[in-house]
Amino acid sequence: MSESTREHYREAFRTMAGTLAGVELPWLRKARRHAFDRFEVLGFPGTQLEAWKYTNVMPLAKPHWHFVPSDGAYADYAHLIDDLVPADAAGRLVFVNGRHVPKLSSLPPLPEGAFIGSLAQAMRRIPERLESIMARHAPDDGFAALNGAFRSDGYVVVLPPGCAIDWPLHVLFFSSEAALAMHSFNAVVVERGARCSIVEQFTGISDEAYLVNTATEIVVDDEAEVEHCRIQQEARSAFHIAHIGVSQRRASHFTSHSFAFGGALSRTQIDTRLEAEDAQADLNGLYFVSARQHVDHHTRIDHEQPRGTSREYYRGVLDGASHGVFDGRVIVHQDAQQTNAHQGNDNLLLSRSAEIDTKPQLEIHADDVKCTHGATVGQLDENPLFYLRSRGIDERMARALLVWAFARVSVDRVESAALRSRLTQQLLARLPGGEYLRGLS
Amino acid sequence: MLEIRNLNVEVESKPILRGLDLRVNAGEVHAIMGPNGSGKSTLAHVLAGREHYVVTGGSVQYDGCDLLALAPDERARRGIFLAFQYPVEIPGVSNIYLLKAALNAQRRHRGEPELDAMDFLALVKEKLADMEMKEDLLYRGVNEGFSGGEKKRNEVLQMTVLAPRLCMLDETDSGLDIDALQVVARAVNQMRDANRAIVLVTHYQRLLDYIVPDHVHVLSQGRIVRSGTSELARELESKGYGWLGAQESDGLETGAPYPASGGEQR
- SS (HEC) of chain B: CEEEEEEEEEECCEEEEEEEEEEECCCCEEEEECCCCCCHHHHHHHHHCCCCCEEEEEEEEECCEEHHHCCHHHHHHCCEEEECCCCCCEEEEEHHHHHHHHHHHHHHHCCCCCCCHHHHHHHHHHHHHHCCCCHHHHHCEECCCCCHHHHHHHHHHHHHHHCCCEEEEECCCCCCCHHHHHHHHHHHHHHCCCCCEEEEEECCCHHHHCCCCCEEEEEECCEEEEEECHHHHHHHHHHCCHHHHHHHCHHHHHCCCCCCCCCCCC
- Residues of chain B found within 8 Å of residue A392, distances taken between Cβ atoms: 73, 76-77, 102, 105-106, 109, 162
Q: Considering only A303-312, A324-333, B197-206, which range has the smallest mean pLDDT?
A: B197-206
Can you give the pLDDT at residue B223? 93
List residues bridging with A323 in a β-sheet. Answer: A294, A355
* Interval A179-202 mean pLDDT: 97
CATH number of the domain where residue B244 is located: 3.40.50.300
pLDDT digits (tens, 9 = 90+) for B74-86: 999 999 999 999 9
Closest by alpha carbon to A221, among A255, A252, A186?
A252
Collapsed DSSP state (helix, strand, coil) of residue A87 = coil
Tell me what percent of the residues of chain A surpass a pLDDT of 90: 88
Q: Considering only A50-64, A77-91, A105-119, A380-394, which range has the smallest mean pLDDT?
A: A77-91
Asked if B162 and A392 come within 8 Å (Cβ–Cβ), the reply is yes
Predicted confidence band of residue A88 (pLDDT cuts 50, 70, 90): low
A367, part of any domain: no
Q: What is the pTM of this model?
A: 0.91
Rg (CA), chain B: 18
CA distance A53 to chain B (A): 34
* Interval B14-19 mean pLDDT: 95
- Residues of chain A found within 8 Å of residue B141, distances taken between Cβ atoms: 405
Which of the listed residues A259, A276, A293 is the one where a domain comes to its end? Answer: A276
- Residues of chain B found within 8 Å of residue A380, distances taken between Cβ atoms: none
Angle between helices B95-109 and B117-130 (to 10 degrees): 110
Predicted confidence band of residue A118 (pLDDT cuts 50, 70, 90): very high
Structural domain that includes position B230: 2-254
Closest by alpha carbon to A224, among A156, A309, A163, A301?
A163
Buried b (16+ CB within 10 A) or exposed e, B189-224: eebbeeebbbbbbbbbbbbbebbebbbbbbbbbbbb
Asked if A398 and B73 come within 8 Å (Cβ–Cβ), the reply is yes
Cβ atoms of B216 and B230 within 8 Å: the answer is yes
B157, part of any domain: yes
Can you give the pLDDT at residue B256? 42
- Touching A: B residues 156-215, CB under 8 Å: 158, 162
Asked if B90 and A402 come within 8 Å (Cβ–Cβ), the reply is yes
Which of the listed residues A217, A244, A276 is the one where a domain comes to its end? Answer: A276
Can you give the pLDDT at residue A8? 95
Asked if B92 and A394 come within 8 Å (Cβ–Cβ), the reply is no
- Please name the residue of chain A whose CA is at the shortest distance from the CA of residue B90: A384
CA distance B252 to chain A (A): 31
- Please name the amino acid found at residue B146: F
Domain count, chain A: 2
Cβ atoms of A341 and A371 within 8 Å: the answer is yes
Chain A contact for B100 (CB, 8 A cutoff): yes
Predicted confidence band of residue A74 (pLDDT cuts 50, 70, 90): confident
Domain count, chain B: 1
* Interval B161-176 mean pLDDT: 94
Cβ atoms of A32 and A39 within 8 Å: the answer is no
- Please name the amino acid found at residue A78: A
A167, part of any domain: yes
A346, part of any domain: no
d(CA A291, CA A287): 14
Chain A to chain B, count of Cβ pairs less than 8 Å apart?
81
Residues A391, A263, single domain; the answer is: no
Can you give the pLDDT at residue B245? 59
Mutate which: B47, B93, B140, vs A, most A CBs within 10 A: B93
Can you give the pLDDT at residue B251? 40
d(CA A9, CA A12): 5
Asked if A405 and B50 come within 8 Å (Cβ–Cβ), the reply is no
pLDDT digits (tens, 9 = 90+) for A254-305: 999 999 999 999 999 999 999 999 999 999 999 999 999 999 999 999 999 9
Q: Considering only the beta carbons, identify the residue of A384, A389, A402 that sits closest to B72.
A: A389
Can you give the pLDDT at residue B37? 85
pLDDT digits (tens, 9 = 90+) for B198-232: 999 998 888 999 999 999 999 999 999 999 998 88
- Please name the residue of chain B whose CA is at the shortest distance from the CA of residue A386: B50
* Interval A44-48 mean pLDDT: 95
Can you give the pLDDT at residue A71? 76
Chain A contact for B106 (CB, 8 A cutoff): yes
pLDDT at B257 over 60: no
Asked if B92 and A404 come within 8 Å (Cβ–Cβ), the reply is yes
Structural domain that includes position A104: 3-276
B265, part of any domain: no
Q: Considering only A82-96, A154-168, A200-214, which range has the smallest mean pLDDT?
A: A82-96
Q: Considering only A7-21, A107-121, B147-161, B247-261, which range has the smallest mean pLDDT?
A: B247-261
- Please name the residue of chain A whose CA is at the shortest distance from the CA of residue B85: A387
Chain B contact for A389 (CB, 8 A cutoff): yes
Cβ atoms of A120 and A22 within 8 Å: the answer is yes
H/E element, A128: helix A127-134
Chain B contact for A392 (CB, 8 A cutoff): yes
d(CA B35, CA B226): 13
Residues A60, A198, single domain; the answer is: yes
- Please name the residue of chain A whose CA is at the shortest distance from the CA of residue B46: A390
Asked if B102 and A384 come within 8 Å (Cβ–Cβ), the reply is no
CA distance A95 to chain B (A): 36
pLDDT at B259 over 50: no
- Residues of chain A found within 8 Å of residue B92, distances taken between Cβ atoms: 404-406, 408-409
Closest by alpha carbon to B48, among B20, B82, B21?
B82
Residues A385, A259, single domain; the answer is: no
A327, part of any domain: no
B83, part of any domain: yes
Q: Considering only the beta carbons, identify the residue of B50, B92, B97 that sits closest to A386.
A: B50
A285, part of any domain: no
Asked if B76 and A384 come within 8 Å (Cβ–Cβ), the reply is no
Q: Considering only the beta carbons, identify the residue of B88, B102, B109 that sits closest to A383.
A: B88
pLDDT at A321 over 70: yes
Which of the listed residues A252, A276, A300 is the one where a domain comes to its end? Answer: A276
Can you give the pLDDT at residue A440? 57
A322, part of any domain: no
Tell me what percent of the residues of chain B surpass a pLDDT of 90: 78
- Residues of chain B found within 8 Å of residue A402, distances taken between Cβ atoms: 90, 93
